[in-house]
Amino acid sequence: MNEKNLLDILIIGNLNCDMLGRVTHMPEADEEVALETLENFLGGSGANLAVVAARLGMRVALFSAVGDDKQGVSLVKMLDEQGVSSEHVKRVPGKRSGMVFGVVEPDGERRLFSYRGANSELKAEDITDEELSTAKRIHLSSPAYDLALDVLKRARALGLATSMDPGSALINAQDINELLPLSDILFVNEVEFKKLSQGEDYQKRAEDLHNRGTDWIVLKHQEQGSALFRPGQLPLTQNAFEIQAVDTTGSGDAFDAALLYAVMQSYEMSEWLKLANAAGAMNALLPGAVTGVPEGIGAIEAFMRRTSLRGEGILLYQGEA
């Protein structure tokens, strides 16, 4: 396929309806707390990332699965409206589409309860080598283990760039050591990083993962910012932006999309984490998984110019990890 006709990124991940309610505080056992608001949004880690990538101008398709219910029809329509190709979204007869119910506290922190539904029906055999070869990069977002192992092996054999954000559910359920050498970029938050690695600080933990075949590691650490670890190189760090978060749902996915955009658009490496932090921060300013990320890179760059950075970033060395 001609290079100019290739997708920039083919994403494999969940497509859900997110139902988000806001509360003044989390209830204790047997306590009832009234929801201040209750809204529905497009969601799922794969869909979130795909929408942000499309808003940044990338050609994007999503491999996912929905049920044969009205919700599935609505989710596919929302994807198309956001500029994401839904050609590869599988329709599963007799299954309900995925749903996440989230409760958001005043500081933007949330508690999520997920029902995978039709998402669990997406299998490796649903994705052909020919389809993988239509994209410059393959990204897996919170994938099932068997699907991830198969797809990453085939993508590597095809010479494609790969990246993965395994997510807490996969890391908690499965030893993913075999996946680590198959992804060019591994995205993790601080909890996931600690579950996957050993060491007295973040630098040692990164070295542990590098020794097991992991290439680049991107650490997302919310208010402490982010870090990039590369084998044999000094780590890069970037402070977070000073914001008042409203809802952090989807901010990690927005971060991933912006960093992949920066890599693929050949931004200076020193700008990668800053751009990604900005996308994640903007997404947290409004309720919903992708509501806060605006159209176009220009708006993110404007946000970076007008928004202050926090004074403290990630401490990489002994004592804090």
CB neighbour class for 319 (10 Å; exposed up to 12, middle 13-18, buried from 19):
exposed
Give the pLDDT confidence score for residue 160 in this predicted structure: 97
Residue 108 has pLDDT above 80, yes or no: no
pLDDT at 124 over 90: yes
Q: What average pLDDT score do residues 61-68 get?
A: 96
Phi-psi sector, 204: left (phi>0), alpha (psi -120 to 50), beta? alpha
Task: Tell me the average pLDDT across 101-113.
Answer: 83
Residue 188 half-sphere exposure toward CB, CA atoms < 13 A: 25
194-220 b/e with 16+ CB inside 10 Å = b? eebbebeebbebbbebbeeebbbbbbb
Q: Given a cut of 60, is residue 320 above it in pLDDT?
A: no
Question: What average pLDDT does range 55-82 have in this prediction?
Answer: 95
pLDDT at site 175: 95
Position 276 scores a pLDDT of: 97
Domains observed in the chain? 3-25+34-306 (3.40.1190.20)
Interhelix angle 269-283/251-264, rounded to 10 degrees, is: 150
H helices present in the chain, as ranges: 45-55, 70-81, 129-132, 145-157, 167-173, 190-196, 202-211, 251-264, 269-283, 297-306
Q: What is the pLDDT of residue 184?
A: 98
In this prediction, residue 307 carries a pLDDT of 96
In this model, does residue 318 exceed pLDDT 60? no
Mean pLDDT of 35-43: 88
Distance in angstroms (rounded) separating the CA atoms of residues 292 and 269? 25
Per-residue pLDDT tens digits for 242-296: 999 888 888 999 999 999 999 999 999 989 999 999 999 999 998 877 888 878 8
Q: Provide the terminal-to-terminal Cα distance of the chain, rounded to the nearest Å.
A: 46
Whole-number pLDDT of residue 112: 82
Confidence band (pLDDT; 50, 70, 90) for 98? very high
Q: What is the pLDDT of residue 311?
A: 86
pLDDT of 319 over the 70 cut: no
pTM: 0.91
Tens of pLDDT, residue by residue over 142-183, are 999 999 999 999 999 999 999 999 999 899 999 999 999 999
Q: Position of tokens 């994401």?
A: 84
Query: What pLDDT is stored for residue 257 in this prediction?
Result: 97
pLDDT of residue 145: 96
Residue 234: pLDDT band with limits 50, 70, 90:
very high
